[in-house]
């Protein structure tokens, strides 16, 4: 049986370093179909049945850059068996923005918190167990540069590939959830249940590419647009900004409970 694992993360989070550590010299380079973005794949060391696909470095799964489109088309259409999401532990807030979207795809996710050598050197702390609980997926601390935690996170990704994805934990505000439920019921019910949420959020955001793909009949679209307009009116913002803002509020609450910055100005005991 062959297993497909996608490696996803922000630019500069250490993704290439991790990809090289996972695959060694066992890599092949090509291009993503139709674009000049480099596509790297490789076999996981000691697992000739496991292919790791290195997705372009991205901050979000929106449709605004070639890299985002390539990455999300792969995740949605090729449906890898698991996503290994590498995040920079020294920049949790920005990196978790992608994570909150990846866990909505209906694919099992394992998170690797990278740069832990720097986090520790700085005297900061990340509560990995609590982060795992809040995201409802396995989380590992690693240093791709130093090679620590790599084997463990790779094994976890291989194991995750044979499991069901967990339910996304984040709930948007009531009026948004109401619209999302309506969208799922009216247009997405023939799709596997665990993929519906990602599509519903994209339709709520007015994502052109998803709207083109789903082709909603005009009467249903009118109802959906009314729901979205209700949410925009109640929250006094446009649909896309509502989703972005609520993600950042959610991320702030996660960081508050998992991240401890070394307190400045404290005299050491020595
Ligand atoms: C340079 N710890 C530390 N300390 N650094 C790491 C780790 C880690 O766990 N993982 C990666 N890095 P990429 P993307 C560099 O290249 O893998 C470093 O974009 C430098 N280069 O070594 O390329 C890694 O694929 C000169 O750093 O990331 C690299 O995601 C001075 O993070 C950078 C300092 O890693 C990005 C660093 C000429």
Summarised one tens digit per residue, pLDDT across range 5-59 is 999 999 999 999 999 999 998 899 999 998 999 999 999 999 999 999 999 999 9
Sequence-separated (6 or more) residues with CB below 8 Å from residue 217: none
Q: Which pLDDT band holds residue 268 (cuts at 50, 70, 90)?
A: low
Distance CA 161, CA 34 (A): 28
12 CA → ligand 1 middle, Å: 7
Sequence-separated (6 or more) residues with CB below 8 Å from residue 201: 104, 180, 243
Task: Show the tokens assigned to 28.
Answer: 């092949």
Q: H-type helices in 87-149, by residue range? A: 92-102, 116-121, 128-135
Q: Write the CA distances from 132 to 110, 124, 166, 171, integer angstroms.
A: 9, 18, 12, 17
Tell which atom from ligand 1 comes closest to the C-alpha of 18.
17
Q: What is the rounded average pLDDT of the residues 88-114?
A: 98
Query: Candidates 9, 11, 14, 18: which one to mutate for ligand 1, based on the most atoms within 8 Å of Cβ?
Result: 14
Q: Is the ipTM of this complex over 0.90?
A: yes
The predicted-structure confidence for 193-222, as pLDDT tens digits, reads as follows 999 999 999 999 999 999 999 999 999 999
Question: 67 CB under 6 A from ligand 1?
Answer: no
Paired with 8 in beta bridges are 85
């Amino acid at each position: 049986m062959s297993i497909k694992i996608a490696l996803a993360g922000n630019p500069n989070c250490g993704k290439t370093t991790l990809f090289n550590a996972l695959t060694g010299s066992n890599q092949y380079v090509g291009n993503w179909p139709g674009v000049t973005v480099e596509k790297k794949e490789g076999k996981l060391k000691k697992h000739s049945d496991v292919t790791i696909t290195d997705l372009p470095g991205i901050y979000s799964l929106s449709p605004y850059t070639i890299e985002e489109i390539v990455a999300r088309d792969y995740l949605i259409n090729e449906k890898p068996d698991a996503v290994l999401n590498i995040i920079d532990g020294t920049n949790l807030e920005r990196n978790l923005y992608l994570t909150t979207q990846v866990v909505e795809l209906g694919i099992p996710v394992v998170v690797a918190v990278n740069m832990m050598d720097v986090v520790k050197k700085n005297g900061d702390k990340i509560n990995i167990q609590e982060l795992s609980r809040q995201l409802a997926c396995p989380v590992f601390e690693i240093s791709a540069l130093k090679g620590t935690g790599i084997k463990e996170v790779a094994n976890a990704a291989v194991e995750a590939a044979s499991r069901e994805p967990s339910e996304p934990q984040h709930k948007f505000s009531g009026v948004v959830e109401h619209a999302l439920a309506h969208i799922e019921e009216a247009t997405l019910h023939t799709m596997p249940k665990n993929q519906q949420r990602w599509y519903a959020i994209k339709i709520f955001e007015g994502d052109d590419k998803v709207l083109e793909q789903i082709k909603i009949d005009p009467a249903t679209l009118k109802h959906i647009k009314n729901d979205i307009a209700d949410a925009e009116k109640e929250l006094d913002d446009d649909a896309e900004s509502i989703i972005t803002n609520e993600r950042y509020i959610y991320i702030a609450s996660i960081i508050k409970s998992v991240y401890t910055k070394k307190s400045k100005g404290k005299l050491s005991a020595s």
